[in-house]
Structure 1
Amino acid sequence: MKWSEICIQTTNEAIEPISNILHETGASGLVIEDPQDLVSTMESPYGEIYELDPNDYPEEGVRIKAYLPVNSFLGETIDQIKMAINNLLIYDIDIGKNEVTLSEVNEEEWSTAWKKYYKPVKISKKITIKPTWEEYTPVSTDEIIIELDPGMAFGTGTHPTTVLSIQALEQYLKKDDIVIDVGCGSGILSIASSLLKAKKVYAFDLDDIAITSTEQNAKQNNLEGKIEAKQNNLLDHVNIKADIIVSNILAEIIVRFVTDAWDNLKDGGFFITSGIIQNKKQLVKDKIVEQGFEIVAVNEMEDWISIVAKKG
């Protein structure tokens, strides 16, 4: 089979929404070439990503690559992707150069090319993310290993928004907590919660492919039965009393379900939000405080914000 590689040069701010757009159009093997990975690797207090080559990364902005099968619908699919990316401007998301290029690759190149970007990486005091095909030996007895196949959905889990979410889970999650993951994507936050000894995790996403991905990754980590993944729009019609609700999605989406988060949290429960860019921080903080939450932590990594709030 022939595959077409679509490459989009954009900004760090646009990584998450463009990744979602590509995933929703059926793209496979997502690659993010972000020069910040090289910088943050060297500065990380937890560990390093091994064998990354600076020559693979752009000098300006970021490149997002994905692979689409060459068929009679390819032209229409590309047009849909371009339109969806342009529509991000409505949400004041900086899409940068927004240069889109296409190139053809064969089956063998497609199946292996993107894997070189994904190596084991320690993202918090306890948690290391390991691609399924990589060998890795834990460096401490209490280290938690998450096995992830980035080809399934939403990248490797090493983006700052995900790292901030997992670090917050590690700090605030207690054994036997009930957790809700809103917009679960690949399921990495659900998996992290379960491995941190949550009693039960409910994972919701509007995208049925994300639900399949969460279920597959949960199985890869031997967590069947501990994570319940279901297609759902945010917290619509959900009635679960959780100790923690975690969500790594756009700020504009977070503010839509703050009330539902409040209703589904136990008293004293924590609302962990990420995926927030600097100029949307106040928007989210205001909405959370207006609902009655107490903000207990605001954490930053690169240009991204995570907010932890507590129900009184």
Structure 2
Amino acid sequence: MTNIQPTPDVQVADAVKGNWVDTIAPAATRPYLRLSRADRPIGTWLLLLPCWWGLTLAMVHDQTVTWHDAWIAIGCAAGAWLMRGAGCTWNDISDRNIDGQVERTRSRPIPSGQVSVRGAVIWMCAQALIAFGILLTFHINAILLGILALLPVAVYPFAKRFTWWPQVFLGLAFNWGALLAWTAHTGTLGAPAVALYLAGIAWTLFYDTIYAHQDTEDDALIGVKSTARLFGTNTAPWLRRFLMATVGLMGIAVIFSALPNASVLAMVLALAGPWAMGWHMAWQLRGLDIEDPAKCLQLFRANRDTGMIPLVFFCLALLV
């Protein structure tokens, strides 16, 4: 009789300890949920928050709030979870040979043998198709933008092979929701949404450079590029530049969103969002130690709160 070896149930090294995937999810689903990073929810937040920024600033822009906006917010949340999962699955398929050589990533489902490449491709397509179904409920221009978003998503896993700035490509993909949600509400893509998108890219350069400092030694050994390796000990001044770009560009987005119809008080409240966000990013800089991977991961995860700060102020601006 042939002995059938069970698929190993390996927890991912940088997963949140005691997360629901490793503790209560059915065993058969765990490898696929790990592929989707369901055990590491920070990525979903970082993808979702620019969507909600774009939606709330669009409502500030035209002073219109409808029930359809509630669906846009819910649809963006579901779509962010699904497309983050699909994108991470694609990333792991593309990086399966690299991940096995990096201490932090060798426990991921594909290099650890939990999921086959074929199974990962099927899982990726399933997530993307469900997300596409949600996208079809939005304005046609938002649908077209959503389809176009596949381009930076497809390119990102390969960026670290040919550029020292792969974080730019991550920013292009992760902040696309600012453009999409604005357009889903207004029906057209506006200049404030573009400024907001650029602010999000600067923010991504900030937090993902911190994140990349966890892997600089392994990345150097296998020849993978990143802004963390490029900046090295000069990281802090670069992060300050990204902080200023984030705050400045988001401030421009707020001003041009609020100028047509919002009150002065609404504009002031909305402008407090990037200002407070900047202080939270400055707090991260004060605590940064690029030689401490655990600290880098902690600060990276703190960016959920960083992104929530302007959202709270944008919502307050809608109430006045």
Structure with greater contact order relative to length (CA < 8 Å, sep ≥ 6)? 2
Larger radius of gyration: 2
TM-score normalised by length of structure 2: 0.31
More helix by proportion, 1 or 2? 2
